[in-house]
Amino acid sequence: MAKLWRIALPILILLAAYWISQYLQQQSPQAQRRSEPEKPSLLVDVQTLESQSYQLMLTSYGNVQAHTQLTLTAEVAGTITYLSENFREGSYFEQGELLARIDPADYQNAVTIARSELSQQQLALAEEQARAAQAERDWQRLGDQQPANALVLRKPQQAAQQAAVASAKARLAQAERDLQRTQIRAPFAGRVLDKQVELNQYVNRGEALASSFAVDYLEVRLPLSLEQQQQVTIPEEFRAQTQSHPSEPAKVEIIARLGEQQFQWPATLVRSEAVLDSRSRQLYVLAQIDDPYGPAFTQQPSLKLGQFVEAQIYGKQLEEVFVIPHTSLYPNQQVLVFHDGQVSYRKVALLWQDPEHYVVRGELQAGEQLVTTPLGQVLEGSRAQLRAN
């Protein structure tokens, strides 16, 4: 019996071990296969592309300047006996207006004397002409068949007296001009910059009385870069050209800021300068502001000479272009387009830019959805979905 037990015990141990292993295999957790997780989609905002016309606006800056500025001077000497109320700094005057008067008494006397001298010389000429006529009659009564010479007919005396009359006329004309010059009248409608004389002050011939400038229009000198020069119609002048300006000169908006307020004046480009800056390659053009002190601008501050202003110049109009935000342009001048849940790159050409937008033309079609969300580096064909509003 003991011998039988020694033989059966190992067999029972082996069977028990097998049953335990089978049980453990059946009770162990089974690993489950999972599908590969989907790649997350990009959330994007889009803008529907529209082909459109775009008016280029060029920005430049310059200073207001007068097209005509001169110094009023005394053409005769004397004492200032009258000054107009408009003859002071900042005042306006009209063309032909009497601004100042120099004491005319001495010049009136000079005119009287010159007229008297002219009358005397004219009388002397008439007497000399009468003597010449009498000399010719006397020569004829002598019966000499030879013609009378110039001395007999007193022609040299007549010529001398005619010269004296002409000289007297010239002195009278000069005296009248000097009398007229005692009245200082405005050569144009303008504004006084500064006054340099006072009432009862004695002035010499050629002495400065005041400086002034014309107010029919003002000019602003504006620099244009090489890129800007290509985008605007610049008025050019040529020899023997009857029409120096284009039929439609470029419009300009002159903007001046006073604190938080902004004021505007309409202007036009009228001409360009003859010299291109050799260092910056900039070309200066002149914008003209018509009647800047007229009734149309009474509700805003007047422009001052030397005032710094901004100019918005109407450039050329681009056709069939796309206007996109700055956030939509990627390196190498590419944009992203959303289509069928994916984004793809399109090549564009940058034509213009303003502070908020780019103007482009290229591999784009109207109606496509442009991605406006800045995404950084994105692979071609990446999955994307529209951001919920």
CATH code assigned at 308: 2.40.30.170
Lowest mean pLDDT among 22-31, 37-46, 124-133: 22-31
CB 175 within 8 Å of CB 34: no
Does the residue 9 lie in any domain? no
Does the residue 89 lie in any domain? no
Does the residue 375 lie in any domain? yes
Does the residue 21 lie in any domain? no
Does the residue 357 lie in any domain? yes
Cα three-residue angle 321-360-236, rounded to 5 degrees: 75
Confidence band, pLDDT 50/70/90 cuts, at residue 247: low
In the numeric block, which tokens belong to residue 342?
A: 């994916």
DSSP state, residue 110: H
Does the residue 39 lie in any domain? no
| Whether residues 378 and 332 fall in one domain | yes
Confidence band, pLDDT 50/70/90 cuts, at residue 382: confident
Residue 53's closest CA among 362, 282, 322, 312?
322
| Whether residues 375 and 313 fall in one domain | no
| Whether residues 167 and 146 fall in one domain | yes
Does the residue 7 lie in any domain? no
| Whether residues 296 and 221 fall in one domain | yes
Does the residue 14 lie in any domain? no
| Whether residues 304 and 335 fall in one domain | no
| Whether residues 310 and 342 fall in one domain | no
Instruction: Choose one of 285, 317, 349: the last residue of a domain.
Output: 317
- Per-residue pLDDT, averaged over 305-309, amounts to 94
Residue 257 structural domain? 59-66+214-238+246-317
Give me the pLDDT at residue 321, please.
92
Instruction: Choose one of 272, 288, 317: the last residue of a domain.
Output: 317
- Per-residue pLDDT, averaged over 287-316, amounts to 92
| Whether residues 307 and 223 fall in one domain | yes
| Whether residues 218 and 313 fall in one domain | yes
Whether residue 132 is predicted with pLDDT greater than 60 in this model: the reply is: yes
Whether residue 243 is predicted with pLDDT greater than 90 in this model: the reply is: no
Amino acid occupying residue 47: Q
Whether residue 39 is predicted with pLDDT greater than 60 in this model: the reply is: no
* CATH number (domain holding residue 360): 2.40.420.20
Q: How many helices (H) and strands (E) does the chain have?
A: 4, 21
Whether residue 73 is predicted with pLDDT greater than 80 in this model: the reply is: yes
Q: Positive or negative, the Cα torsion across 368, 374, 380, 381?
A: negative
Gyration radius from the chain CA atoms: 49
Q: Which long-range contacts (CB under 8 A, 24 or more apart) does 296-299 make?
A: 297/265
Domain count, the chain: 3
| Whether residues 294 and 375 fall in one domain | no
Give me the pLDDT at residue 285, please.
93
